[in-house]
Amino acid sequence: IIHRRGKTPRRPCPKKTSNIEKDPVGVYCRIRPLGAEFEECCVEMISSSTIQLHAPDGLKANRNGEYKETQYSFKKVFGIKTTQMELFEDIAKPLIEDLIHCKNGLLFTYGVTGSGKTFTMTGSPGEGGLLPRCLDMLFNSIGPFQAKRFVIKTDDKNGVEIQNQVDALLERQKRDSQQSVPKTPSSRQKTDPEFADMISPEEACKSENVDEDCCYSVFVSYIEIYNNYIYDLLEDAPFDPIRPKPPQSKILREDQNHNMYVAGCTEVEVKSTEEAFEVFWKGQKKRRIANTQLNRESSRSHSVFIMKLAQAPLDADGDHILQDKNQVNVSQLCLVDLAGSERTSRTRAEGSRLREAGNINQSLMTLRTCIEVLRENQMCGTNKMVPYRDSKVTHLFKNYFDGEGKVRMIVCVNPKADDYEETMLVMRFAEMTQEVEVARPVDRPICGLAAGRRHRNQERGGPSTAGNDLLEFVILLIDSFPALPPCELVDPADDQTLPRLIEVLERRHCIRQKMTEQLNRTSNTLKSMLQQFDSQLTAKENYLHDQRGKLGEKDKIISNQKMEIERLEKKSKMLEYKIDILQKTTNIYEEDKRSLQHELETQEQRLQRELSERRRMEQRMQGMVTDTRLKWEKECERRVNAKQLEMQNKLWVKDEKLKQLKAIVTESSSGCPTERPEKPERPSRERDRTAPQKRSASPSALPVSYLLNPYPTSSSSSSTSSSTYPSVANCISEWEQRFPVDTRQGSHPATPQYGIHPRHRRSQSAGGEKWVDHKPSSNLDLDTVMQPIIPNAIKVSTPSEKALSKCHKYVLRHQELASDGEIETKLIKGDVFKTRGGGQAVQFTDIETLKQECPTAPSRKRRSGSGGGAAQMDDIENRVSCLVKDDSLYMMSFICLKLPNKQT
């Protein structure tokens, strides 16, 4: 049995009540004007609630190319021309009204360093920010209903206490005597001129829904969160010049209502806007700021200005404050100026500045994480723990995100292109913050007393005094009349009581008449005065009417001038808009011009390269054409010379044959030998003798003497008929010996070369150049003595690129059947050269033909005559026929003719 440890059951999620109303976090966006006119702008305001981000030109081509135009929506977007008053009316004014109605609020500014957060919160002379305007509206609303100083005081546990007038006076004297506690500034002091210029009287705001049955007291405190430590900016620590002590950090605690507060933080009671701003300015001078590359006065800490409003109800009579601290409601509004996020690569921070930037970014990242977890819990129904304690900023304001008041955020944006990437991160955080919902705070009832207690108390005090005065006046008036005598009649004969009564009444009547006359005189005087006043009033009204007419005319002139000014302003705006459009168009055209100019330069460079390449090709082709022309000219000259020599040889051979035939015929007809005629000289030209002969590309022919007699023997072994009748071979041999030919002279293929020893005779194909001897496997071997032999040749049955790459010449042996039935062999020669693609190609230049003939075969030509003469003529014809063959074959014919004589 395996015992497993039981797991702790998961705590069930608290059931969410559906009747709680929630509001999303109000996120607003404010766009700061550009610092310079010609800076590149990456933010565009599309509508009153939407902005669009444009990627700057330097980032359009980076990493994934996903920098596209993105739009972000907010509750409201404030452009560059938005005034501080408009911003206050839409954002901070509802928070002050909620503060007066016992509801908490949180307002903080968020953005990149240098985006205008401190200006939005504090402002400048002439343009007061949200903080001084909130103080001004608060004191304008509760000014007549404030409690005496120190009647309501704060304790050290985020609560308040109630004191009577005497205790409050003693407390004030005690505080004034203590040096460690900062003195409350007096409201009789002169107004700070710097603050007086911030808010004009025309821009003063006031809340009309103020509960007059309460007394109010305002307490302010000012702290900063620096390097994740909390410091009190209003604390007056004694200064020791010898051993100065650094300010001590404060800790966060939780009160009995589970609200977070800064323990030991100084809270100053203020009675006017000037006093409150003076306290703020005192703490602002202690706030840590520094000069960086991006901002001359960069906030290095998060500042939190807390306005706490205590509302104590009056008693049933409306005279004094209830002495029950449980009936006092306390609400607070936190104005937070967050330090700007920054990149150290841009600010070039070092040392302490680098550590400050790291802590600032870490706290902002914690705020982002808390918002993400809250959003996930609300949208997905999860119950993840929100990491408020990771940072002092989020830990201090956790109650607001849990539903203790309204939360509003102002996203400040600097539209310059350098802040594009940081601005995108800020936009994503703001967009995510809008999806977080915060529980709507409920109204807190003050007490169960009837409303209007202060007003009734004032009414009781006013009419009672007036009644007493009227009664005293009537009593004095009655006392001025004479006293009435006794009017009781006891005796019917009494005649004194009535006369006395009549006398007193007559005196009273006289006094009344006098008073009536005096009253009439006074009334007449009053009437005359009233008439005079009426006439004066009429004159004044006429004067006012005239002045109003003049004022109306002036108003008309002013309205016309205003209309003209508005028209000019609209025209100026339109012209500015057109100028912007023209400027953008000019920039686009300049960019296109630069790109086209760059492209034109590139095309010109490419054209120059192509022209130079073309010139090189033309020069190269001209060289090749010149070389080819010279080559063909030489080849044509060689061929012409060879053809002339060939024709001369043929002509000489025919002449020689005719002479031999003539000699034979003459010898046979006479029957006796005659003297051998002198061998005629071979015709030649002077230039053939003197000019050097070129070497032919084809193998040279063997000497005729070797062809006719390859096996030399003695003269006795020759036939007897050859001594009697000189043979053609002897004649040619003698002629060749008389006219030797230089072996270096180039000749046509199959042209006989003379003067070469038979042992040293080789084919010209066997020179220093290597040959590819292509002999197909279908060729037949001929059993003749003379065979074309090419030494130092690669013999192949099928040509291959490997064999061709090693040689310079190529010969193909081709066999076919001739018209007489004999096998004819052709040697097809060519030059091997390399191609541009790296292969090999063959250019055919010459063809040699080898043919085998049988001397014993019957001749096709027959002549009429006797039998012996016919046989002799046949033998002569067979011999001579060898000479009239193709010049490339006559050598082989001589071998075929000589072999039968050798065998005999």
Numbered residues of the known binding site for ATP: 111-118
Strand pairing report for 405-413 and 104-111: parallel
3-class DSSP assignment, residue 774 = strand
Of 673, 703, 654, give the one whose Cα is nearest residue 880. Answer: 654
- Residue 697 phi, psi (nearest 5): -75, -20
Which residues contact residue 189 at a Cβ distance below 8 angstroms, ignoring those fewer than 6 apart?
274, 278
Strand pairing report for 70-73 and 50-53: antiparallel
Cβ-based burial of 761 (10 A; exposed 0-12, middle 13-18, buried ≥19):
middle
Query: How far is residue 166 from each of residues 159, 271, 679, measured CA to CA in Å?
Result: 21, 19, 173
- In contact, 817 and 843? CB cutoff 8 Å: no
Tokens 């067979």 -> residue: 878
- In contact, 359 and 345? CB cutoff 8 Å: no
**250 Rama class: left (phi>0) / alpha (psi -120 to 50) / beta:** beta
- In contact, 770 and 806? CB cutoff 8 Å: yes
Q: Which residues are annotated as a binding site?
A: 111-118
Radius of gyration for the alpha carbons in the chain, expressed in angstroms and rounded? 67
d(CA 404, CA 591): 55
**DSSP string over 527-580:** HHHHHHHHHHHHHHHHHHHHHHHHHHHHHHHHHHHHHHHHHHHHHHHHHHHHHH
d(CA 589, CA 712): 100
d(CA 509, CA 210): 58
- b/e per residue 386-411 (b: at least 16 CB within 10 A): bebebbbbbbbbbbbbebbbbbbbbb
User: What stretch of H or E contains 61?
Assistant: none
Q: How far does CA 286 lie from the centroid of its chain?
A: 41
Cβ-based burial of 513 (10 A; exposed 0-12, middle 13-18, buried ≥19):
exposed
d(CA 550, CA 456): 47
d(CA 658, CA 325): 162
- In contact, 887 and 751? CB cutoff 8 Å: yes
d(CA 690, CA 494): 211
- Residue 487 phi, psi (nearest 5): -110, 15
Of 785, 852, 846, give the one whose Cα is nearest residue 816. Answer: 852
Which residues contact residue 125 at a Cβ distance below 8 angstroms, ignoring those fewer than 6 apart?
194, 197, 198
3-class DSSP assignment, residue 218 = strand
3-class DSSP assignment, residue 467 = helix
Which residues contact residue 267 at a Cβ distance below 8 angstroms, ignoring those fewer than 6 apart?
154, 219, 220, 221, 308
- Residue 360 phi, psi (nearest 5): -65, -50
Q: Show the tokens assigned to 563.
A: 């209309």
**DSSP string over 305-363:** EEEEEEEEEB-TTSSSB-S-GGG-EEEEEEEEEPPPB--HHHHT--THHHHHHHHHHHH
